[in-house]
Amino acid sequence: MLVGAGLKRSGHKREEILASARSLFLKEGYADTGMEVVARAAGVSTATLYAYFPSKADLFKAIVLETVSSVGAPVREAVRVKGDARTRLAALAVAYATFLSRADTRAMFRMVTAERRRFEDVAEYFLQSARDELGGAAISVINDLARTGEIRVEKASWAAGQLLGLLDHVTLVLGITAGDDVLPRRPIKDIAEDAVETFLARYGVR
C-alpha cells in the first residue's frame, strides 16, 4: 500500500514538473528556460527536478513525446461521429481546425520547429506522429465514405491531405505567422463547412 502511494505521488510530481516546464518552454523558448526556473514553478527543489530529468534536453524530450500521445485526441473523437458524408467530414474539419487554432498547439509546433536542429530525432518524431494522428483520422473517415459509395477517391491519403490542406493556412499557418492567439476572421464552423463543400465538389458522388 505504501509503495503504491509512493508511486502515485511520484507520478503526480512528474506531471506537475512536465506541466510547469511545458508552460515555460512555450512561453520563453527552450534556450531561455533554465532548470532552476522550472523547479521553482513546479514547487520542487532543483535536486528533485534532476532526479526526474537528468538534463534540460531530457525534460524537453519528455514534453514533446507526451504531447504526441494527446495531440490528435479531439480529431480522433470526431472520427466516431455518425451521419452522411457532409456530417462526418464537417465534424472532422471542425475538430481539426479548432485544434490548430489553439494557442498552445501553435506554440508547440513553433517550438519544435525552432529546436529541430538541436533535437532532430525528437522533432521528426513529433511532426511525423502529428501527421500520422491527424492525417490518419482523416484517412479513416474518407475510407469509410468511399466504402459506402458516398465519395470516390483514387487514394485516401491524397484526398485527406487536400481536405486538411484547405484548413491549414487559415488556422496553424495564420497563428505561426501572425501570433499564437490570432484567430481566423471567420468562425471555425464556416471555414470547415467551406472546406468540406470544396472537397465534396471534387470527390462527392452525384
Q: Is the pLDDT of residue 168 over 70?
A: yes
Q: What is the DSSP string of the chain?
A: -HHHHHHHHHHHHHHHHHHHHHHHHHHH-STT--HHHHHHHHTS-HHHHHHH-SSHHHHHHHHHHHHHHHTTHHHHHHHT--SSHHHHHHHHHHHHHHHHHSHHHHHHHHHHHHTTTTTHHHHHHHHHHHHHHHHHHHHHHHHHHHHTTSB--S-HHHHHHHHHHHHHIIIIIHHHHH-TT---SS-HHHHHHHHHHHHHHHHB--
Multiple choice CATH, 2-57, 1.10.10.60, 3.40.190.10, 2.30.40.10, 2.60.120.260? 1.10.10.60
Return the domain boundaries, the chain. 2-57, 71-203
Measure Cα distances from 153 to 77, 130, 144, 196 in Å: 23, 23, 11, 14
Average pLDDT over residues 151-165: 95
Per-residue cell: 21:
516546464
Residue range 20-75, pLDDT digits in tens: 999 999 888 888 899 999 999 999 999 999 999 999 989 988 888 777 767 678 88
Q: What is the largest CA-CA distance in the chain?
A: 66
List, for residues 78-123, the tens digit of each pLDDT value: 999 999 999 999 999 999 988 888 888 888 888 888 888 888 888 8
pLDDT digits (tens, 9 = 90+) for 51-60: 999 999 899 8
Q: Is 168 exposed, middle or buried (0-12, 13-18, 19+ CB in 10 A)?
A: middle
The rounded distance, in Å, linking the Cα atoms of 86 and 203 is 12
Matching CATH topology for 2-57 and 71-203? no
State the pLDDT confidence band at 8, using cuts at 50, 70 and 90. low
Q: What is the pTM of this model?
A: 0.78
| Residue in 99, 89, 92, 88 with CA at minimum distance from that of residue 130 | 99
- Is the pLDDT assigned to residue 172 strictly greater than 80? no
Q: Given a cut of 60, is residue 180 above it in pLDDT?
A: yes
CB of 130 closer than 8 Å to CB of 67: no
Phi and psi dihedrals of 151, rounded to 5? -135, 160
CATH class of the structural domain 71-203? mainly alpha
pLDDT tens, position by position, 122-156? 888 778 878 888 899 999 999 999 999 999 999 99
